């Protein structure tokens, strides 16, 4: 057993010592920094506007344009590397990769501006205080706001969504991931004093809470609306196993999203929802012992049937999704500070346990391997037959954010 995995058992919980945990954080920070340095060297051979996303079948890094939903995660990871190490070289690279994304402040073609802009420019502004970054974020929030409809009381995710069940196309789909983009709107409201941004964010969050979260606090992935009257036309899935199943990363987005929304609003309804979703995740009989979930909690279970066009019907392996675990670990560190002491201890311990598992050889890549991504074994979309059991740039981002949040706990 490695030194940082030493523990004692108290009150039924795993309690890691401060000394070994400092080693754990330092070790994983150093590893992440090395992988990022390897990846930066690899990017020098690529187009200057190509952003790391995953790997191909040969294990080589693949990239996307800035107009994909993921480009902000790489620069965000560089910012966390700088924050964790104070390495000026990391800061220079973080600035460089962030500023490449400046044109996105005017982008309006999908809802992911929060991921694209806040993970990059949000961290940049938080760590530098550069007013130019603040102005870019505010303009990004204006662009995101154009996708809000006061009839549906929500921000349109994609321009269209084709059901897996046939040829039905919905024109106002809203996915649970969209909760994550609201942080950009809350920021803009505080930065400008314009409450319109906050109104849109709260309205969207309330609508999602009512229509996207089931009574047991599991979640639907996609809710499709009628723009004439705001009524729900369908509750389906795009990346999960079945419409009535719980897609693991969708549940993770919900835990993280409602935790953030509570931070910004202090509305107890959102805290209740965040905690309910976290409890559902942690208490699920289908969550493996190491707390790294299968890509969907109900994959291949009776009573859950994929759409006829979904590739999920062809996949029998129950793949893990490390990206979901990384998101939940990061969310639980924050959520643990908003609930009562007993529940907070439970959430904090779960986050620590998950972080240790992610930092173990089972999920952390060997140095210089895995396309130079930090974590292995994530899933993008099995229904689309895309990014199955591969590294993903956003898994690395939330792993690094979780490390930073862990380092900020009072025990250190």
CA distances from 323 to 181, 326, 376 (A): 17, 5, 9
Dist CA 360 CA 321 (whole Å): 15
Q: Exposure of 246 by Cβ count < 10 A (0-12 exposed, 13-18 middle, 19+ buried)?
A: buried
Kindly report the pTM of this predicted structure: 0.96
Dist CA 81 CA 107 (whole Å): 27
The answer to whether 226 is annotated as binding is: no
Indicate the domain borders of the chain: 21-298+315-411
* 75, 104 Cβ separation under 8 angstroms: no
SS3 390: strand
Res. 297: pLDDT tops 80: yes
Return the active site residues. 112, 177
Q: Exposure of 14 by Cβ count < 10 A (0-12 exposed, 13-18 middle, 19+ buried)?
A: middle
* 319, 382 Cβ separation under 8 angstroms: yes
Specify which residues 225 forms β-bridges with: 232
**Radius of gyration, CA atoms only, the chain:** 20
Dist CA 322 CA 345 (whole Å): 23
CA distances from 398 to 119, 183, 256 (A): 10, 15, 11
The answer to whether 53 is annotated as binding is: no
Task: Give the DSSP letter of residue 52.
Answer: E
Res. 163: pLDDT tops 80: yes
Res. 264: pLDDT tops 60: yes
How many CB atoms within 10 Å of residue 369? 14
pLDDT in tens, 7-35: 333 334 456 677 799 999 999 999 999 99
**Helical axes 72-85 vs 18-43, angle rounded to 10°:** 130
pLDDT in tens, 27-75: 999 999 999 999 999 999 999 999 999 999 999 999 999 999 999 999 9
The answer to whether 249 is annotated as binding is: yes
- CATH-assigned architecture of domain 21-298+315-411: Alpha/alpha barrel (1.50)
Pairing mode of beta strands 154-155, 61-64: unpaired
The answer to whether 237 is annotated as binding is: yes
The answer to whether 85 is annotated as binding is: no
Q: Find, among 246, 362, 248, 243, the residue nearest to 295 by Cα.
A: 248
- DSSP letters for 244-302: TS-BHHHHHHHHHHHHHHHHHH--HHHHHHHHHHHHHHHH-TTS-TTS--BSBTTTT-T
pLDDT in tens, 103-160: 999 999 999 999 999 999 999 999 999 999 999 999 999 999 999 999 999 999 999 9
The answer to whether 112 is annotated as binding is: yes
């Amino acid at each position: 057993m490695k030194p940082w995995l030493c523990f004692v058992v108290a009150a039924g919980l795993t309690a890691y010592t401060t000394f070994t945990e400092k080693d754990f954080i330092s070790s994983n920070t150093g590893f992440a920094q090395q992988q990022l340095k390897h990846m930066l060297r690899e990017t020098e051979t690529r187009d200057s506007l190509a952003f790391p996303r995953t790997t191909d079948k040969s294990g080589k890094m693949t990239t996307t344009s800035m107009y994909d939903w993921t480009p902000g995660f790489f620069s965000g990871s560089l910012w966390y590397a700088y924050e964790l190490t104070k390495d000026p070289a990391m800061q220079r690279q973080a600035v460089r990769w962030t500023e490449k994304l400046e044109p996105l402040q005017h982008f309006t073609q999908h809802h992911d501006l929060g991921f694209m802009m806040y993970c990059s420019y949000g961290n940049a502004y938080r760590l530098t205080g550069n007013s130019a970054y603040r102005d870019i974020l505010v303009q990004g929030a204006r662009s995101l706001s154009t996708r809000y409809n006061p009839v549906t009381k929500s921000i349109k995710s994609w321009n269209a969504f084709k059901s897996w069940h046939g040829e039905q196309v919905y024109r106002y789909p809203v996915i649970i991931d969209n909760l994550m983009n609201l942080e950009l709107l809350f920021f803009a409201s505080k930065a400008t004093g314009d409450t319109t941004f906050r109104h849109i964010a709260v309205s969207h969050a309330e609508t999602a809470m009512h229509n996207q979260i089931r009574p047991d606090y599991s979640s639907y992935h996609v809710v499709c609306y009628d723009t004439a009257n705001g009524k729900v036309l369908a509750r389906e899935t795009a990346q999960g196993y079945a419409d009535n199943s719980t897609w693991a990363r969708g549940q993770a987005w919900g835990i993280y999203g409602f935790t953030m929304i509570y931070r910004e609003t202090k509305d107890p309804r959102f805290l209740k929802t965040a905690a309910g979703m976290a409890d559902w995740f942690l208490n699920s009989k289908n969550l493996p012992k190491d707390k790294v979930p299968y890509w969907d909690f109900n994959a291949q279970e009776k009573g859950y049937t994929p759409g006829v066009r979904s590739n999920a019907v062809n996949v029998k392996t129950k793949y893990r999704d490390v990206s979901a675990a990384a998101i939940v670990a990061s969310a639980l560190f924050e959520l643990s500070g908003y609930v009562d002491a007993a529940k907070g201890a439970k959430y904090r311990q779960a986050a620590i346990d998950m972080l240790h598992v992610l930092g173990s050889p089972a999920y952390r890549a060997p140095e210089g391997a895995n396309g130079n991504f930090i974590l292995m074994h994530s899933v993008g979309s099995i229904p689309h037959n895309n990014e199955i059991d591969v590294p993903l740039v956003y898994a690395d981002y939330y792993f690094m954010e979780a490390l930073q949040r862990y380092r900020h706990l009072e025990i250190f």
